[in-house]
């Protein structure tokens, strides 16, 4: 159950703009179809909108990323990754200090069916394969075998509901941006529709037509995406629940479990290094 209280905005702001400059040795080619780039990136860096001819898988061993692409915003917590297909314009914001590892994948080896952005689980196997591919001294045959295994793991990875789809209609966009500034708000759709000068019926129809979901479904996605960086920072679960408008920790945990199939604590328990998520 959502409750209405006064709360601070949860919108993050980037402080430093970085323009993408991928070193030649990190650029994939048909001869070397998968390249890996690893580096620490401080919080607040925004990698400006850009496009490249290859696909990429971006993940962090620590920290949270926010990626805008294909009309959606994606939150990427530790031990997860985002798949970005070739020739998709995207922007990356480092929400927390992160160690960013990116696989660049030549278009010639991109698996069928991976034609849209998605956030996926990073299995222990995929994580270790990425580390192995980062070794520039490996043989061509080992590189080929590891690359095939990496692509198979990516294809098998479970997609996660960590996107916030954004509309193109100006009225609906204004409404969605207002909700994102205050995701804890329990205001009705009628209230938000009035603010943007449209009827409730019109806004409900636009949600279905442009985003394929109802207002309540979209708002839950926004709440989940906002919860990820807060939980990753180790904030107490009860505090996160309150910040996001939930009457109790158990109500928030139940919603989280329905979406992800596990508790917030289990979600952040990876590789034997649990994030300090107080609660269940």
Residue-wise pLDDT for 82-93, tens only, equals 999 999 999 999
Tell me the C-alpha distance between 18 and 244, whole Å: 31
Percent of the chain with pLDDT over 70: 89
Q: Tell me, what's the pLDDT at 16?
A: 64
Domain boundary among 138, 160, 182: 160
User: Are 182 and 125 in a shared domain?
Assistant: no
- Whether 189 maps to a domain, the answer reads yes
User: Are 134 and 180 in a shared domain?
Assistant: no
Question: CB 111: neighbour CB atoms within 10 A?
Answer: 13
User: Are 60 and 139 in a shared domain?
Assistant: yes
Q: Tell me, what's the pLDDT at 78?
A: 87
Q: What is the mean pLDDT of residues 25-51?
A: 92
191 or 268, higher pLDDT: 191
User: Are 143 and 242 in a shared domain?
Assistant: no
Confidence label for 257 from pLDDT (cuts 50, 70 and 90): very high
Q: Tell me, what's the pLDDT at 232?
A: 81
Q: What is the mean pLDDT of residues 42-66?
A: 91
Q: What is the mean pLDDT of residues 41-58?
A: 93
Residue-wise pLDDT for 16-30, tens only, equals 666 667 888 889 999
Contacts 24+ apart (CB under 8 A), 21-25: 22/52, 22/104, 25/136
User: Are 25 and 155 in a shared domain?
Assistant: yes
Q: Are 246 and 252 in contact (CB under 8 A)?
A: yes
Q: What is the mean pLDDT of residues 167-171?
A: 94
Confidence label for 95 from pLDDT (cuts 50, 70 and 90): confident
- Whether 154 maps to a domain, the answer reads yes
- Whether 10 maps to a domain, the answer reads no
User: Are 142 and 23 in a shared domain?
Assistant: yes
188 or 22, higher pLDDT: 188
Q: What is the mean pLDDT of residues 167-181?
A: 91
Residue-wise pLDDT for 223-254, tens only, equals 888 888 888 878 899 999 998 989 899 999 99
User: Are 144 and 177 in a shared domain?
Assistant: no
- Whether 3 maps to a domain, the answer reads no
For position 57, which CATH number holds? 2.60.120.10
User: Are 98 and 68 in a shared domain?
Assistant: yes
Q: Which residue range forms the structural domain that includes residue 141?
A: 16-160
- Whether 184 maps to a domain, the answer reads yes
233: left (phi over 0), alpha (psi -120 to 50) or beta: alpha
């Amino acid at each position: 159950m959502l409750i209405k209280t006064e709360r601070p905005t949860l919108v993050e702001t980037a402080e430093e703009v970085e323009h993408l400059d991928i070193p030649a040795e990190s650029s994939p080619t048909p001869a070397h179809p998968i390249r890996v780039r690893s580096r620490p990136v401080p919080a607040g860096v925004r990698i400006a909108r850009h496009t490249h001819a290859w696909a990429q898988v971006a993940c962090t061993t620590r920290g949270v990323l926010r990626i805008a692409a294909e009309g959606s915003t994606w939150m990427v917590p530790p031990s997860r990754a985002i798949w970005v297909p070739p020739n998709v314009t995207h922007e990356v914001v480092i929400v927390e200090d992160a160690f960013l590892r990116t696989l660049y994948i030549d278009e010639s080896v991109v698996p069928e069916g991976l034609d849209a952005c998605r956030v996926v689980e990073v299995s222990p196997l995929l994580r270790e394969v990425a580390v192995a591919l980062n070794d520039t001294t490996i043989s061509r045959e080992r590189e080929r075998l590891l690359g095939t295994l990496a692509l198979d793991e990516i294809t098998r990875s479970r997609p996660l509901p960590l996107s916030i789809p954004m509309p193109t209609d100006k009225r609906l966009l204004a409404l969605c941006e207002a909700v994102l500034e205050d995701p804890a708000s329990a205001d009705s759709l009628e209230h938000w529709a009035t603010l943007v000068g449209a009827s409730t019926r019109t806004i409900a129809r636009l949600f279905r037509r442009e985003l394929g979901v109802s207002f309540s479904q979209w708002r839950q996605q926004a709440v989940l995406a906002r919860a990820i960086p807060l939980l990753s920072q180790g904030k107490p679960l009860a505090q996160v629940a309150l910040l996001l408008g939930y009457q109790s920790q158990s109500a928030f945990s139940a919603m989280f479990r329905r979406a992800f199939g596990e508790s917030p604590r289990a979600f952040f328990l990876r590789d034997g290094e649990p994030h300090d998520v107080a609660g269940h």
